[in-house]
Amino acid sequence: MAAAAIATVSLSSVPREKRPRHCASTFNFNARQFSNSSSHCHSFTLRPRVPRPRAACRVIVAQAGGGYKVAILGAAGGVGQPLSLLAKMSPLVSALHLYDIAADVEGVAADLSHCNTPARVSGFTGEDELAGCLSGADVVVVAAGVPRKPGMTREDDRFGANAGVVRELVAAVADHAPPGALVHVISDPVDSTVPVAAEVLKHKGAYDPRRLLGVTALDVVRANAFVAARKGLPLADVDVPVVGGHAAATILPLLSKARPKAAFTDDEVEELTARVRDAGAGGSATLSMAYAAARFLEASLRGLDGHGDVYECAYVQSQVVPELPFFACRVRLGRDGVEEVMGSELRALTDYEARALEALKPTLKASIDKGVAYVQQHQEAALN
């Protein structure tokens, strides 16, 4: 393994033209980049503040506040609140707009605004304030809806409620957010809600597949944690791509592509695959989901900011599996959102992975079709 590069530098030693546009302030989000292959992975870790030389600090203060505007919809929820806190800590975020139908969001915004990090925080509640929340947003995170309760499946139980929430909120994104805004969909079932969002954007003439991303980062975070624990590997080094979708039957961790290379017995492959797939069965995750969504948000912002080699797994429109118009896969993130879908990762699968990929296709296809049909039915009903 090549040495990991830590992205935090003393800016006073870097020529001005080579400095990043935005840089760390209260916390360091350290980007670790694996440089021993064509694919890369980034993870961020939060580190306590360490004293810096004065010259470096002056540059940081001068550049703070020039970052991106992020809108979080559903910000008063179990995922939304900790995600908002983590976004407030990001040096790349200069404005944080928090929206929820629950008026509590005003209190969340006031509370967060007292954290001495540069992002300005504003709370928005009620439909009348949604347009203001979305105005000028670079990234809109949709975390609104009904969470999974113990025993529920992601796919069916919440589809009716959350498809309606996503349809309504994404329609507002099309109407009020800038055309270049990235949309991150967290609301489950992601396998269906992302197609719902795509259809809504198409009907509004505002669809750009590069800018619509289903957030499956929690599956990667879990796979990394479980593999590191099982194989006794350092957590920061482990990177497991997770493909397919984001339901128990459609999540597929590709252990054969995990880095660092490790030998897994058949039993380990079955056990780890089942563990990643079923990790949400005890009820909806909130804190780990917020961490995963914040990591994904940070990666997207680094992509927008022009950093090279930003890779994450996400559920996006692609042709890597021709019969599945949406598929979770590692993607390269850049100034236009998804700049490349790394379909090469599906080559040279093990027999187990190839069989699992075949097996998940009908379920994922049905979930995609369900999302598309939902919006079409709604459009037809609206016309009648």
Residues contributing to the site for ligand NAD (CB under 6 A): 73-74, 76-80, 100-102, 143-148, 162, 165, 168-169, 186-188, 190, 215, 218, 246, 284-286, 289
Nearest Cα to Cα of residue 317 among 212, 247, 243, 241? 212
Task: Compare residues 94 and 192 and give the one whose CB is closer to ligand NAD.
Answer: 192
Min dist CB 370 to ligand NAD, Å, is: 16
Q: How many residues does the chain have?
A: 384
Rounded CA separation 93/111 (Å):
17
Q: How many CB atoms lie within 10 A of CB 362?
A: 12
Helices (H), the chain: 54-63, 80-88, 104-113, 130-134, 159-176, 190-203, 217-231, 266-277, 287-304, 351-383
Rounded CA separation 321/327 (Å):
7
User: Amino acid letter at 53?
Assistant: P
Task: Compare residues 22 and 370 and give the one whose CB is closer to ligand NAD.
Answer: 370
Min dist CB 221 to ligand NAD, Å, is: 9
* Residue among 97, 246, 307, 378 flagged as catalytic: 246
Task: Compare residues 289 and 357 and give the one whose CB is closer to ligand NAD.
Answer: 289
Catalytic, 246? Answer yes
Task: Compare residues 60 and 96 and give the one whose CB is closer to ligand NAD.
Answer: 96
Q: Residue for token digits 């559920």?
A: 315
Min dist CB 181 to ligand NAD, Å, is: 17
Rounded CA separation 209/281 (Å):
30
- The number of angstroms, rounded, from the C-alpha of 34 to the middle of its chain's C-alpha atoms is 20
Question: Are the beta carbons of 235 and 224 closer than 8 angstroms?
Answer: yes
Question: Are the beta carbons of 143 and 293 closer than 8 angstroms?
Answer: yes
Min dist CB 14 to ligand NAD, Å, is: 37
Question: Are the beta carbons of 39 and 342 closer than 8 angstroms?
Answer: yes
Min dist CB 251 to ligand NAD, Å, is: 10
3-state secondary structure string, 135-180? CCCCEEEECCCCCCCCCCCCCCCCHHHHHHHHHHHHHHHHHHCCCC
Task: Compare residues 65 and 132 and give the one whose CB is closer to ligand NAD.
Answer: 132
Rounded CA separation 97/48 (Å):
25
Task: Compare residues 20 and 78 and give the one whose CB is closer to ligand NAD.
Answer: 78
Min dist CB 273 to ligand NAD, Å, is: 17
Catalytic amino acids? Answer: 246
